Structure 1
Amino acid sequence: MADLFKRNNALRVNDRTANGATADIGITVRGSDFLWAWCAVMGLATLVFIALSTRKPRTHRVFYYITAAITMTAFVSYFSMASNLGFTPIPVEFRRSDPKVRGIFRQIFYVRYIDWFITTALLLMDLLLTAGLPWPTILWAIFVDWFMIVCGLAGALTQSSYKWGYFAFGCAALLYIIYLLVWEGRKHANARGTDVGRVYTMCGSLQALLWILYPIAWGLCEGGNVIAPDSEMVFYGVLDFGSKVVFGALLIWGHRNIDPARLGLRIRDYDDDPAVHGSFFRGGPGHEKHTNGAGVHAPGTNGVHDGPVV
């Protein structure tokens, strides 16, 4: 047990073999150490975001919870990669002479794409809800985002040059998302007020800049096999830190004095209205005074809701 706290044994316990092949191009102990540090950062950020949410009424916590969910998901992802898990060896398209990337099979961490499938959609929700965009636009943006992530994963797992077709599809989807953030989202946010526009511009600009760098990292790592997996972890790790932790901190700070109702998020708690307190569900106390005796709302009365008030 003492050795567990003295050194990182993850690569000795979990080797680079998976699916009947061994990755000869993979992370080292240094890369694993970096991932463990980032795992701790994501976990700490999650606790901070949740703690900050307790200072707000339950109806004002939507952005806190979304942001905490982002770093919580990233925490599990970094735990998996630091443990040398969640990968599969894939033959590289380009053989390199550099000893750090010389070999046949490279570690491709699919767990990272599972993370992105969840967290990028939540990041978009954070931004587009701040801008007050209509729900159909938000849902379409999330679908395009999922399309982009799936294309990235398919390309990373493809052995031949056809991987660059998936890369192109993903980049096209990214361009649409950048357009949505920079143009439509900014217009909607500015219409909600100067303070909302300021928060959106600050956070949206940061996210747009960082997301443009992800395809570059992909091309140098999973795609081109140019930089070593340890450097890959640092590259993606810095981008994740900026797009998840720094972004989350800026967003929550910006929302500290913004009522979600101004953004079209009129959320009601069960005890917000004393007139319906106790009649949160059908049949609760006070329900009978709004019915005609047969359990049906009487005409001309203000009947209580049949389910939870949202």
Structure 2
Amino acid sequence: MLADTTVWAWIGLLAMGAGTVPPLWAWYSRSSETGESHAVYYGTLAGVTGVAALAYLAMALGFGTVPTPGGDLPVARYVDWLITTPLLLLYLGLLARPSRRLLGGLIAVDVVIIAGGIAAVATVGTVSWVLFGVAAAAYAALVYGLLVSLPRSASAEADRVRAVFGTLRNITVVLWTLYPVVWLLAPTGFGLLTPATEMLVFVYLDIVSKVGFVVVAVAGADALDRLGAERGLGAGSEAASLDGGTAADSADGEHTTVLGDD
């Protein structure tokens, strides 16, 4: 059984490592050809699969699991999710350009979801199920934000930007919804899955939701040209965020709101 979970961890490592190549290559190619690297965008994407690769390396080597009253807690997996899921939300925010308050709120809710999952694994009985319920309620709020609140911001962008955002948002909502289902079926919930099967399913979901997200984002990188990427969450927008986070539209429409305050 241990060998089975280890094999799946190595597969996860290889997949995440491979998934890190496209954004890094696109970053390098873009910088070499045009001098505009879109560093924030590509760096965010590379961070998603890069962090996940390190987490899978830890799991493959037998590190990152600690015993708790509720069973073994895969710390490496949850640390991965605590870092990579906010990065995925950040990328969606870079495309949709909501207010900083909205994006920060979505990331905060995401952290509550992961923290609730950790606490639910580490506890037993009614307490565990209550904590899982709290995480599930927070996830419902996150889905509402992704399906309703963020699209309102994205609707102000170009058609190509909205198309890429919509595809990535849908990938995120559909696949993230499967994670709590696996949690319920795994030993953490009803125990219908073995640890090896749980690992297999989580590796599969991680590959599709992370590597798939990154590949689609890189394929749709032409949308970044319509955003004025160099005015993203970089130094050039810091002054705007201090005085309200918005810049007035100029006559030719070059300036757009960049994650400003409400």
Report the TM-score range of the alignment, normalised by the length of the smaller protein. 0.7 to 0.9
Q: Structure 1 counterpart of 2:232, which letter?
A: L
1:268 & 1:89 partners in 2: Cα distance? Answer: 43
1:223 & 1:88 partners in 2: Cα distance? Answer: 18
1:80 & 1:213 partners in 2: Cα distance? Answer: 24
Question: Does the 8 Å CA contact 1:261/1:267 hold for their aligned counterparts?
Answer: no
Q: Structure 2 counterpart of 1:42, which letter?
A: M
2:209 & 2:120 partners in 1: Cα distance? Answer: 22
Q: Structure 2 counterpart of 1:33, which letter?
A: V
Residue 46 of structure 1: CA displacement? 1.3
1:49 maps to which of 15, 20, 23: 23
Residue in structure 1 matched with residue 46 of structure 2 by the alignment: 68
1:238 maps to which of 189, 198, 204: 204
Residue 262 of structure 1: CA displacement? 6.7
Q: Which has the higher helix share?
A: 2
User: Gaps (5+ residues) in structure 1?
Assistant: 1-26, 93-105, 270-310
2:214 is paired with a residue whose SS is helix
Deviations, residues 25-80 of structure 1 (Å, cap 9, x unaligned) = xx421221121011011112213321221122355122111010011110111111
Question: Does the 8 Å CA contact 2:7/2:60 hold for their aligned counterparts?
Answer: yes
- 1:254 and 1:159, CA in 2 relative to 1: closer, same or farther beyond 3 A? same
Residue in structure 2 matched with residue 307 of structure 1 by the alignment: none
Residue 89 of structure 1: CA displacement? 3.1
Residue in structure 2 matched with residue 203 of structure 1 by the alignment: 168
Residue in structure 2 matched with residue 112 of structure 1 by the alignment: 77
2:228 is paired with a residue whose SS is helix
1:244 & 1:131 partners in 2: Cα distance? Answer: 19
TM-score (norm 1): 0.70
Q: Structure 1 counterpart of 2:194, which letter?
A: A
Structure 1 stretch displaced more, 56-65 or 68-77: 56-65
1:33 maps to which of 7, 11, 18: 7
TM-score (norm 2): 0.82
2:222 is paired with a residue whose SS is coil
1:87-102 map, 5 Å: 87-90=65-68
Question: Does the 8 Å CA contact 2:146/2:173 hold for their aligned counterparts?
Answer: yes
Q: Structure 1 counterpart of 2:228, which letter?
A: A
1:107 & 1:158 partners in 2: Cα distance? Answer: 11
Indicate the RMSD between aligned Cα atoms, in angstroms.
2.0
Deviations, residues 267-310 of structure 1 (Å, cap 9, x unaligned) = 579xxxxxxxxxxxxxxxxxxxxxxxxxxxxxxxxxxxxxxxxx
Residue in structure 2 matched with residue 131 of structure 1 by the alignment: 96
State, as a whole percentage, how many aligned pairs show the same letter. Answer: 28
2:50 is paired with a residue whose SS is helix
Question: Does the 8 Å CA contact 2:22/2:215 hold for their aligned counterparts?
Answer: no
Question: Does the 8 Å CA contact 1:145/1:173 hold for their aligned counterparts?
Answer: yes
Question: Does the 8 Å CA contact 1:133/1:188 hold for their aligned counterparts?
Answer: yes
Deviations, residues 95-115 of structure 1 (Å, cap 9, x unaligned) = xxxxxxxxxxx4331211111
Residue in structure 2 matched with residue 223 of structure 1 by the alignment: 189
Question: Does the 8 Å CA contact 1:163/1:223 hold for their aligned counterparts?
Answer: no
Decide which structure has the larger Cα Rg and report it: 1
Aligned length: 230
User: Gaps (5+ residues) in structure 2?
Assistant: 237-262
1:147 maps to which of 105, 112, 136: 112
